[in-house]
């Protein structure tokens, strides 16, 4: 089997009453493994009798490191040039079938296809969690985080990209990047009729869920009652509420691997895809030109060489890690970990994301809740596997695609708050919120409470990433810097007040929905409903939105935080680019999967232009 589920035996304490630690949890996970633990790519390779014979010292034109959203796009576009030989390296395994089931996206967390990163201890946030460390899930498989995320397809605001350009990055304004958003997109819904903003001929399927439950509609109706229009946030106006479109196709995930690599992998002879192959160092010649990479597969180290370029697309955590391991980074830090300096660059700085928190619970009465018996859960998991046309609760993602974008100050030029929603069994959650958050193994389709997560879209705080001096090749040290700037918390509290006002809407009243006013354990000394209580929730039950960016910042040469230029070439060396979300100077206002696809398209267009148009090669 490709997929290994979360190890609940290690996580569950002896006397917990959580269902995720019960015998039913073992039965459930075993069923999922048996039905969905294999991989389509493994089956294809077995049928075609394909075996990967690794030879040390292989030579390619381009080496792409990382098969996430950006890396898959880059490998696809480069290998479309028949005369170019391309190697795509991925540290994780093939994408398992379990990733295809929308409602099982939460089941992937803490499994073998998740890097299982955690932040470093903090005195200000993540206070309720063990060692005051928050989880930072990242996909470790073909497709990367596009295979583990919650599917939402949101691009951000025009001002985000115009802001990048204004910082000294020509070619990255909204008008510049919109064609690249559209290039990838194959929108199958009515939004595609607006050809100004949407594409219909690209590889990436964008669609609405075939199944949306009533609590999800309740949230959209409630925000609409509060004055937010129903609209397409990827179009003219971002302020509004909706059931967001997703990277799904006919009730299944359409990851970057599925859309950009699977259709070409066994057809293009010039593309080599190598899984479970972790790059550990970029090789430079005496002129500081990147000429290859060292990578580890099956506990053996191999070298591959690139005649033209090495392209790093490992994401906001692993791209800076690889650069640091290769001698690109702050000299003081590299000296501390005894790595020779190739280029003194601010790699790992400017790390940031949309911080949010858990614990604001909206309970649903039986008539509105979607909870079912344990037997019905098992049956639905079994039935979904047998369906030729995927329909029913598992073909949706519960309330997760219920979104709202709004301004906490009407004078703001664009939204500063996004609300995205999780689901829980609230009685279990109230008792053990920290353990509950670490064991979200059951389908997102079945729940009796929703958790609106207020996300600050324009964070001022910045963190950093460092290598672990005792084990540089192990997990890096992640300092998210959450809420170091007081403005971030202020915006979050204002955003919570808007969510609290939903209690008076007809959408809530007609369904009997209500806020659970029992304080969570870490904040029981405060009065529920006060700003002090919400601040306590934000600092105690802090949560990642899974949107880390910025650690290999794009900027002009005089930008003290810049690692790459506007064509994504790494400063101080040649033959090396970074093409992924780590190059964002500032995070976009929204989810980061769609922008990562765009960055892949925009970045690889620079590569192709440089090598085909300028060099005529």
- The per-residue pLDDT for range 50-109, each reduced to its tens digit, is 988 999 999 999 999 999 999 999 999 999 999 999 999 999 999 999 999 999 999 999
Tell me how far CA of residue 47 lies from CA of 41, 51, 143, in angstroms. Answer: 10, 11, 22
pLDDT at 3 over 50: yes
614 or 102, greater pLDDT: 102
257: CB partners within 8 A, 6+ apart: 67, 72, 95, 141, 142, 143, 144, 146, 147
**What's the angle, vertex CA 90, arms to CA 582 and CA 318, rounded to 5?**
30
> pLDDT, tens digit, for every residue of 528-578?
999 999 999 999 999 999 999 999 999 999 999 999 999 999 999 999 999
> Which residues have C-beta within 8 Å of that of residue 94, sequence separation ≥ 6?
2, 39, 40, 41, 42, 141, 142, 275
Arithmetic mean of pLDDT over the chain: 97
CA atoms within 13 A on the CB side of 286: 0
What is the per-residue pLDDT across 335-388, written as a single tens digit (0 to 9) for each?
A: 999 999 999 999 999 999 999 999 999 999 999 999 999 999 999 999 999 999
Task: Give the percent of the chain with pLDDT over 90.
Answer: 97
pLDDT tier for residue 191 given thresholds of 50, 70 and 90: confident
As a whole-number percent, the residues of the chain with pLDDT over 70 amount to: 99
pLDDT band at 614 (very low <50, low <70, confident <90, very high): low
Tokens representing residue 230 in the block: 């129903």
Residue 422, both tokens: 């999780």
CATH 3.30.560.10 boundaries in the chain: 103-137+209-244+354-467+475-545
Classify 311 as helix, strand or coil.
strand
Determine contact, residues 449/426, Cβ cutoff 8 Å.
Answer: yes
Residue 299 CB contacts under 8 Å (≥ 6 apart), including other chains: none
Q: Which fold has domain 103-137+209-244+354-467+475-545?
A: Glucose Oxidase; domain 3 (3.30.560)
Mean pLDDT in residue range 314-323: 98
Instruction: Identify the pLDDT of residue 616.
Output: 44
Query: Where in the chain do CATH 3.50.50.60 domains reside?
Result: 54-95+141-208+254-352+548-617
pLDDT at 194 over 90: no
Give the Cα-Cα-Cα angle 121, 122, 128 (nearest 5 degrees).
Answer: 85
Residues 73, 76, 81: CA angle, nearest 5 degrees: 135
Spatial CA neighbour of 345 closest among 332, 360, 355, 356: 332
What CATH number does domain 54-95+141-208+254-352+548-617 carry, 3.50.50.60, 3.40.50.150, 3.30.200.20, 3.30.420.310? 3.50.50.60
| Integer Cα distance of 121 and 209 in angstroms | 38
Q: Closest Cα to residue 585, out of 168, 225, 254?
A: 168
> Cβ neighbours of residue 136 under 8 Å, at least 6 residues apart?
117, 118, 119, 317, 478, 480, 544, 546, 548
What are the φ/ψ torsions at residue 536 (nearest 5 degrees)? -65, -45
CA atoms within 13 A on the CB side of 167: 22
Map tokens 């069923």 to a residue: 31
> Is 136 a residue whose pLDDT tops 70?
yes
Place of tokens 């950006």: 70
pTM attached to this predicted model: 0.98
Ramachandran sector of residue 66 (left: φ over 0; alpha: ψ -120 to 50; beta: rest): left
d(CA 578, CA 313): 6
* Core vs surface per residue 417-452: b (16+ CB within 10 A) or e: bbbbbbbbbbebbbebbbbbbbbbbbbbbbbbbbbb
CA distance to 28, 190, 213, 372, 402, per residue, from 442 (Å):
8, 32, 17, 12, 19
First-to-last CA distance in the chain? 43
In 3D space, the residue among 426, 36, 443, 505 whose CA is nearest the CA of residue 211 turns out to be: 443
Tokens of 46: 């077995």
Is the separation of the CB atoms in 584 and 553 below 8 Å? yes
Tell me the catalytic residues: 547
What whole-number distance in Å separates Cα of residue 110 and Cα of residue 167? 37
Which residue in this structure is represented by tokens 């060489």?
A: 305
pLDDT of 315 higher than 90: yes
Distance CA 191, CA 211 (A): 18
The pLDDT tens digits for 499-532 are 999 999 999 999 999 999 999 999 999 999 999 9
Helix (H, G, I), strand (E, B) or coil at 468: coil
140-169 pLDDT per residue, tens: 999 999 999 999 999 999 999 999 999 999
The β-bridge partners of 241 are 230, 404
């Amino acid at each position: 089997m490709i997929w290994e589920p979360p190890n609940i035996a290690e996580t569950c304490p002896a006397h917990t009453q959580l269902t995720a630690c019960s015998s039913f949890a073992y039965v459930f996970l075993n069923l999922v493994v048996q039905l969905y633990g294999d991989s389509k790519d493994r089956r294809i390779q077995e049928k075609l009798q394909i075996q990967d014979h690794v030879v040390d010292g292989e030579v390619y034109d381009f080496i792409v490191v990382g098969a996430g959203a950006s890396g898959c796009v880059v490998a696809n576009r480069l290998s479309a040039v028949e005369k170019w030989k391309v190697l795509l390296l991925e540290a994780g395994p093939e994408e398992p079938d379990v990733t295809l089931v929308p409602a099982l996206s939460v089941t992937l967390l803490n499994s073998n296809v998740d890097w299982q990163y955690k932040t470093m201890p903090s005195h200000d946030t993540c206070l309720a969690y063990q060692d005051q460390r928050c989880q930072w899930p990242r996909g470790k498989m073909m497709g990367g985080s596009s295979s583990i995320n919650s599917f939402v397809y949101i691009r951000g605001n025009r001002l985000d990209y115009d802001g990048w350009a204004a910082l000294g990055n020509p070619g990255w304004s909204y008008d510049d990047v919109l064609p690249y958003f559209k290039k990838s997109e194959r929108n199958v819904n009515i939004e595609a009729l607006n050809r100004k903003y949407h594409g219909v001929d690209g590889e990436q399927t964008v669609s609405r869920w075939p199944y949306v439950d009533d609590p999800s509609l309740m949230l959209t109706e409630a925000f609409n009652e509060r004055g937010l229009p129903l609209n397409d946030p990827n179009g003219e106006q971002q302020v509004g509420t909706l059931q967001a479109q997703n990277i799904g196709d006919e009730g299944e995930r359409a990851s970057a691997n599925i859309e950009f690599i699977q259709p070409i992998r066994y057809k293009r002879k010039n593309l080599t895809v190598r899984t479970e192959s972790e790059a550990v160092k970029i090789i430079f010649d005496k002129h500081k030109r990147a000429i290859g990479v060292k990578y580890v597969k099956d506990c053996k180290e191999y070298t591959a060489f690139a005649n033209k370029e090495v392209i790093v697309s490992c994401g906001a955590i692993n791209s800076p890690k690889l650069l640091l391991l290769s001698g690109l980074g702050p000299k003081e830090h590299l000296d501390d970990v005894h790595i020779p300096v190739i280029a003194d660059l601010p790699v790992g700085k400017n790390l940031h994301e949309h911080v949010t928190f858990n614990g604001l619970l909206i309970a649903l009465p039986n008539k509105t809740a979607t909870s079912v018996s344990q037997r019905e859960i098992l049956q639905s998991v079994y039935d979904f596997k047998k369906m030729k046309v995927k329909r029913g609760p598992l073909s949706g993602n519960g309330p997760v695609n219920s979104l709202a974008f709004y301004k906490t100050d009407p004078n703001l030029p664009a939204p500063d708050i996004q609300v995205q929603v999780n689901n829980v069994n609230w009685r279990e959650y109230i008792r053990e919120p920290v353990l509950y958050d670490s064991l979200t193994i059951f389908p997102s389709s079945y729940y009796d409470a929703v958790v609106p997560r207020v996300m600050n879209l324009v964070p001022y705080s910045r963190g950093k990433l460092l290598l672990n001096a005792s084990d540089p090749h192990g997990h890096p040290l992640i300092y998210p810097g959450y809420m170091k700037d007081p403005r971030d918390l202020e915006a979050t509290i204002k955003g919570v007040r808007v969510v609290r006002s939903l209690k008076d809407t007809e959408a809530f009243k007609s369904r009997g929905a209500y806020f659970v006013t029992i304080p969570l354990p870490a904040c029981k000394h405060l009065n529920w409903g006060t700003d002090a209580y919400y601040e306590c929730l934000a600092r105690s039950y802090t949560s990642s939105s899974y949107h880390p960016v910025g650690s290999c910042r794009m900027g002009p040469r005089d930008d003290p935080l810049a690692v790459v230029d506007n064509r994504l070439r790494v400063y101080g060396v040649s033959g090396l680019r970074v093409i992924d979300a780590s190059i964002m100077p500032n995070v976009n206002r929204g989810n980061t999967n769609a922008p990562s696809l765009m960055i892949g398209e925009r970045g690889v267009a620079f590569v192709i232009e440089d090598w085909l148009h300028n060099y005529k090669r």
